[in-house]
Structure 1
Amino acid sequence: MGGRELNWDGCVNVRDLGGLGRIRPRAVVRMEAPTRLTAAGWAAAWAYGVRTVVDLRDAGEGEPDLVARPDGITTVRVPLDPVGTPFYEHWMGIDGLGSPLCYPAMLLEHPERIVSAVRAIANAAPGCVVFHCAGGKDRTGLLALVLLTLAGAAPEEIVADYLLTYPRMKQRYDELGSRDQLTLVTELLAARGTTIEASLTSTIASLPMPGFLLGNGLSGAELDALRARLTA
Structure 2
Amino acid sequence: MMKSYEMMWQRLPLHTCANARELGGYPTADGSQTAWHRFVRSDRLSFLDDDEREFLYGYGVRTVIDLRGSQEIAEHPDIPISDDVAYRHITLLDLNIADSRLDELMKSDREPQALDFYGTILENTEGFRKVVHAILETPEDACVLFHCTEGKDRTGILAMLLLSLAGVDRNDCIANYEITRENILRKPYYAHDFAQAGSRQKLMGSDPDTIAVTYDFVMQRYGSAEGYFHACGVSDAAIAALRKRLVVSA
TM-score by length of 2: 0.75
Matches within 5 A, 1:167-182: 167-172=182-187, 174=189, 177-180=192-195
Root-mean-square deviation (CA), in Å?
3.2
Conserved 8 A contact 1:159-1:200: no
Distance (Å, rounded) in 1 between the aligned partners of 2:212 and 2:189? 27
Query: How many positions carry a matched residue from both structures?
Result: 223
Matches within 5 A, 1:24-43: 24-43=35-54
Give SS of 1:52's match.
Answer: strand
Distance 1:226 1:175, change over 3 A: closer
Conserved 8 A contact 1:133-1:139: yes
Give deviations 1:11-48, integer Å, cap 9, x for gaps: 11111001123421111000000111111111111111
Identity of aligned residues (%): 29
Distance 1:156 1:34, change over 3 A: same
Matches within 5 A, 1:1-232: 3-20=9-26, 21=28, 22-61=33-72, 62-65=75-78, 68-81=80-93, 90=101, 93-94=104-105, 100-101=114-115, 102-107=117-122, 109-126=123-140, 127-172=142-187, 174=189, 177-180=192-195, 184-187=199-202, 195-196=209-210, 198-203=212-217, 205-206=219-220, 207=222, 208-232=224-248
Distance 1:179 1:29, change over 3 A: same
Conserved 8 A contact 1:186-1:196: no
Distance (Å, rounded) in 2 between the aligned partners of 1:231 and 1:48? 18
Distance (Å, rounded) in 2 between the aligned partners of 1:211 and 1:197? 18
Conserved 8 A contact 1:23-1:151: yes
Distance (Å, rounded) in 2 between the aligned partners of 1:48 and 1:129? 10
Give SS of 2:34's match.
Answer: coil
Distance (Å, rounded) in 1 between the aligned partners of 2:106 and 2:23? 26
In structure 2, stretches of 5+ residues that fail to align are 1-7
Conserved 8 A contact 1:111-1:216: yes
Conserved 8 A contact 2:151-2:180: yes
Give SS of 1:119's match.
Answer: helix
Question: What amino acid is aligned across from residue 231 of structure 2 in structure 1?
Answer: G
TM-score by length of 1: 0.80
Give deviations 1:66-111, integer Å, cap 9, x for gaps: x5532221111101115787x8865664369x9743323432x332
